[in-house]
Structure 1
Amino acid sequence: MSSTTTNQYEVTQLLDIAEDLFAYVGLTILLLGTIGNMINVISFARLESLKTLASSLFLLTSCIASQVVLVTGLLTRVIRGFSLIDPVYTSVVLCKVRWMIRTAAGAVSLTCVCLAAIDRYLSSCHNVHRHGLITIKRARWSIFISICFWSSIFSSYAVFYTAPTPLSCTIANPIFAYFTSYFNLFHYSILPLSVLSIFCMLTWHNLGQQPATYLRGGIRLYDQITRMLIAQSIDILITSFPNMIWQIYTVTSQSITKSSLRMAQENLINTICVLIGFSTHAITFYVYLLASSTFRKNVKDMLLRNRRIKPLSNANVIKVTITKTDQKVTLPIP
């Protein structure tokens, strides 16, 4: 009896810790992420280079989708952490809408980052014919298709997610629940992490092969958008990795019978991994600040001086012509 009482106490403690984490850490992530995403949206919307650079449009859409993830996915958990009442549990409609929109928005956000990585790779290639493969028009169509595709895919969540009891919002169909575990692991972890890893390494390799580009004064200049994107990709890799490992464990341990104490322990670990996963959509702005001096200057001018934002283009770059023994190479301006 004493052992049973002790286990029950530990279970209660672990569940309370998980709720507190969602309440306080989740609220911090939500507030910082909302502020950062709003500044990102305003900054990219005012960039003159947005009219000519497809990557900026992809990153703008990614920021908007990330904010949708935070509002639909994290806000209700924060409310539950403080009040112990989850609005999703009180309505079947909210249950369905929350999981459909939250999951689709997360997929759109990561898809747009992957498309931006592909665009930066093509722009960094020595073959100039690849530079114009992703135009603004094609970028808009890609974003539209991505939204339609993921919305149609995750409309199934609106069908299968339900609230059979007052304190649950789960997939009632066991076959669909089993399939969803594997699909989430693939579309939210394995696929985007693989694409970002491959194209960021290829882009970095291309940049290392290019001749030096110099500002007036001789300081080496790297394309600011590319630097921001590589930094964001590293951020996604780091913050998504714990959740991917946890998803693999969840998939492989579905058939194991677990005690209430083990389930409470796993719930706490899942809470930590989920919060780290939400930070993927919350710290992009701060990653951009660290990665790009031009972006920092633009934000400073916007917030403190209320000036028109300067484009994230190499406005002061002079074209350098390097003459070799058998050919003349004219360095293009990104």
Structure 2
Amino acid sequence: MVNLISRIVMSGDGIDLTRTSVSWCKIRYFCVATLSLLSLTCSCLATIDQYFATSQNVSLRRLSNIKLAHRILVVMIIVWLCHGIPFLVFYNISSTTNTCASTNLSFAVYYPSVYFITLNCTIPVLIMVIFGYLAYRNIHSTRILAEQQADRQLVRMILIETLLIMISYIQYGVYGAYMLMTSNVIKSPNRLDIEAFVSTMSSLIYYLYFSGSCYMFLLSSSRFRQEAKNQLRFWRKHNQVNSEHKYVNGGCIKSIHQ
């Protein structure tokens, strides 16, 4: 919501607050760096947890527990918040180009090479592919789980999560690597226009991972659909109770005034 809506406003309406507001310049890149990595971390940890939960090794199965998950998540939130601090410090509106960019040369190198390609693309894809495959293999090597066909929804969700991240992130990483390798090349206006178009398309495909997971899970998992229906019923019932409560209170107040 933070990143995509602001991009739609920038591209569609031509209102780019990162060029006029120093605060939004810093906050947007902080959110890009922090929230995206946190989301990817949760997906990677969930895939690793599926591998632990389906392992025949008792010690590994014990690692799949809610207390440990809470602790790891708190640690990772702190780590990624600290990782986002340099974006608040070094990003500013450039006086020469009038764009939001890093004012620190070392951090300007770190962003495309380490953050963009390594942390945001290569490592999450490798983790999800490797542990997704290992979880799938664990299930098929366990006779009871295989006989009960307990792997159907799990495998579907693992494959969908892995496919989404491969589709959205591999092309994003390839484009980032290309831009890094050609950063010192003098480019023609036509080439710059083509790169701008590719950049926009690559960014939109990149958002597919964040927006598509929920819909893909709804299509692939009956358990997920049932849980979504239960949540929807709960909110409808909750809103109905609140409406009745307001109506009764309003009626009482009206009667008192009369």
**Superposition TM-score tier, normalisation by shorter sequence:** 0.7 to 0.9
Distance 1:86 1:113 in 2: 31
Say if 1:120 and 1:226, in contact at 8 Å, map to a contact too.
no
2:73 maps to 1:143: yes
Distance 1:291 1:114 in 2: 19
What number of residue pairs does the alignment pair up?
A: 235
96 and 288 in structure 1: CA distance in 2 versus 1, 3 angstrom threshold: same
Kindly provide the CA deviation profile for residues 51-75 of structure 1, in whole angstroms up to 9, marking residues without a partner as x: xxxxxxxxxxxxxxxxxxxx22111
Letter in 2 for 1:89: R
Say if 1:235 and 1:287, in contact at 8 Å, map to a contact too.
no
Greater relative contact order (CA < 8 Å, ≥ 6 in sequence): 1
Q: Give runs of aligned pairs for residues 15-164 of structure 1, distance below 5 A.
A: 71-164=1-94
Which of 108, 113, 117 pairs up with 1:185?
Answer: 117
Distance 2:18 2:70 in 1: 33
Shift of the alpha carbon at 1:227?
A: 4.0
Two-structure CA RMSD over aligned residues (Å): 2.3
Kindly provide the CA deviation profile for residues 235-257 of structure 1, in whole angstroms up to 9, marking residues without a partner as x: 11221111011111111111211
Q: Which sections of structure 1, spanning at least 5 residues, go unmatched?
A: 1-70, 309-334
Distance 2:2 2:233 in 1: 31
Kindly provide the CA deviation profile for residues 270-305 of structure 1, in whole angstroms up to 9, marking residues without a partner as x: 111111111111111111112211212332344369
Shift of the alpha carbon at 1:158?
A: 1.0
Partner of 2:226: 297
Distance 2:229 2:72 in 1: 32
Letter in 1 for 2:105: P
Shift of the alpha carbon at 1:88?
A: 2.1
Say if 2:51 and 2:131, in contact at 8 Å, map to a contact too.
yes
2:177 maps to 1:248: yes
2:135 maps to 1:203: yes
Letter in 2 for 1:285: C
Distance 1:307 1:174 in 2: 53
Greater displacement, 225-234 / 108-117: 225-234
| SS, match of residue 187 in structure 1 | helix
Shift of the alpha carbon at 1:109?
A: 0.7
302 and 111 in structure 1: CA distance in 2 versus 1, 3 angstrom threshold: closer
Kindly provide the CA deviation profile for residues 163-191 of structure 1, in whole angstroms up to 9, marking residues without a partner as x: 12484111233332122110121000111
Distance 2:31 2:69 in 1: 22
Say if 2:91 and 2:103, in contact at 8 Å, map to a contact too.
yes
Say if 1:76 and 1:88, in contact at 8 Å, map to a contact too.
no
TM-score (ref. length: structure 1)? 0.65
| SS, match of residue 162 in structure 1 | strand
Say if 2:139 and 2:145, in contact at 8 Å, map to a contact too.
no
Say if 2:22 and 2:93, in contact at 8 Å, map to a contact too.
yes
Partner of 1:314: none
| SS, match of residue 243 in structure 1 | helix
Q: Which sections of structure 2, spanning at least 5 residues, go unmatched?
A: 238-258
Partner of 2:168: 239
Which of 172, 179, 199 pairs up with 2:103?
Answer: 172
Instruction: Report % sequence identity.
Output: 27
| SS, match of residue 258 in structure 1 | coil
219 and 116 in structure 1: CA distance in 2 versus 1, 3 angstrom threshold: closer
| SS, match of residue 143 in structure 2 | coil
267 and 158 in structure 1: CA distance in 2 versus 1, 3 angstrom threshold: same
Distance 2:236 2:197 in 1: 46
2:186 maps to 1:257: yes
TM-score (ref. length: structure 2)? 0.83
Which of 190, 205, 225 pairs up with 1:276?
Answer: 205
Kindly provide the CA deviation profile for residues 207-232 of structure 1, in whole angstroms up to 9, marking residues without a partner as x: 11111448xxx973337456424421
139 and 302 in structure 1: CA distance in 2 versus 1, 3 angstrom threshold: closer
| SS, match of residue 210 in structure 2 | coil
| SS, match of residue 282 in structure 1 | helix
Distance 2:45 2:14 in 1: 39
